[in-house]
Structure 1
Amino acid sequence: MKKMTTKPNILLTRIDNRLIHGQVGVTWVNHLGANLVVVANDKVSQDEVQQSLMDMVLPDVIQARYFSIQKTIDIIHKASPKQKIFLVVKDVHDALALKQGGVPIDHINVGNMHYEEGKKQISSTVSVDDKDIEAFKKLADMGVTLDVRGVPNEKGQDIRALIKEFPI
């Protein structure tokens, strides 16, 4: 007898402040075999222009949904098992809010966190400040694997090895 599960089929969660762009829309989607990209971000869930621009990057056979953090938490467990979900968030704080809200995130691909004033660069594509480090620590304490990698064929690096303040 088959056991019924309500766990959504989340193939991967990616932090990328660019959200959906060429790398995400083509390379990662194809690599994962995803048929649905869920962008969880409060601002983008309200911005139809940005949504349209991101939709243009995706192949026609891939669907995209743009939800606020709370709506993602509320409905992710209603996803059909046929939905192979690639979950994309803008920053580590959105990822932490989802995890704390009960979204079953076990692995996060840290793809892109742009450098800005007050942040320090820890890899070619990832810059963090103290608040980011604290959020990454909380995720790690919750058992989430944190893998820094731009594209699928790159060798990933554990973010804990890149952040010196991170107790391993």
Structure 2
Amino acid sequence: MIKLIRVDHRLLHGQVAVSWYGYVGANCILIANDQVIKDPIRKASIKMAKPSGSKLVMQNIEHSIESLNSGITDKYNLMIIVESIHDALLLINGMNEKPKVLNIGGTKETDQTRILSPAVNTSITDEEDIKSLIDLNVEVEIQQVPTSPVKTIKVNDLKINRG
């Protein structure tokens, strides 16, 4: 059962490992990312952040979709972490059973982004992807840690709808 799908550009780190993992009652973490599986240094740092006693799986997006759709992950209380809003859209688009909620915890600031919330920076492409997620009936929420307030993103919040 999927307990949480989260966008966090840092993937697995203390905030996720300590706060979210226990809060959602997960026992397995799936890192769905095409780049991290090719990078031994990033893989090693993610493994170090893994909560004690948890199962950690790192797969590319395509293999993650196959695993989720096959039912092999059904035996776990699963927390899925992706690096970007686009990765979340790719993953969710490929899933047979769409989640009800996507949690956005943090995205990188660049010269192409604007601040949507203190830790979430979005480009026009990110906002188009968020609109696509909303169109799939996925509620897109911003929440850094479980104890912080939830901000549900509405289409009116997106710059792409302001012309």
TM-score strictly above 0.5: yes
SS at structure 2 position matched to 1:122: strand
Instruction: Determine the structure 1 residue equivalent to 2:117.
Output: 123
CA 1:166–1:27 in 2, change beyond 3 Å: closer, same or farther? Answer: farther
Contact 1:26 1:58 in 2 (8 A): no
In structure 1, runs of 5+ residues without a counterpart are: 1-8
Please give the residue correspondences for 1:4-153 in structure 2 after superposition, counting only pairs within 5 Å.
9-77=1-69, 78-102=71-95, 104-153=98-147
1:106 maps to a residue whose letter is K
Q: Over the residues paired in the alignment, what is the CA RMSD in angstroms?
A: 1.6
SS at structure 2 position matched to 1:93: helix
Question: Partners of 2:75 and 2:107 in 1: how far apart?
Answer: 31
- Displacement after TM superposition at 1:164 (Å): 4.5
Question: Partners of 1:59 and 1:130 in 2: how far apart?
Answer: 35
Contact 1:92 1:135 in 2 (8 A): yes
- Displacement after TM superposition at 1:63 (Å): 1.2
Give per-residue Cα distances to partners, 1:139-164, cap 9 Å, x unaligned.
Answer: 00000011101000111001226435
- Displacement after TM superposition at 1:18 (Å): 0.4
SS at structure 2 position matched to 1:59: coil
Contact 1:123 1:162 in 2 (8 A): no
Greater displacement, 100-109 / 115-124:
100-109
Query: Percent same amino acid among aligned pairs?
Result: 29
1:134 maps to a residue whose letter is E
Question: Partners of 1:150 and 1:116 in 2: how far apart?
Answer: 19
- Displacement after TM superposition at 1:105 (Å): 2.4
CA 1:166–1:153 in 2, change beyond 3 Å: closer, same or farther? Answer: farther
- Displacement after TM superposition at 1:118 (Å): 1.3
Question: Partners of 2:159 and 2:86 in 1: how far apart?
Answer: 20
- Displacement after TM superposition at 1:52 (Å): 1.6
Question: Partners of 1:159 and 1:150 in 2: how far apart?
Answer: 14
SS at structure 2 position matched to 1:37: strand
2:114 maps to a residue whose letter is K
Greater displacement, 115-124 / 152-161:
152-161
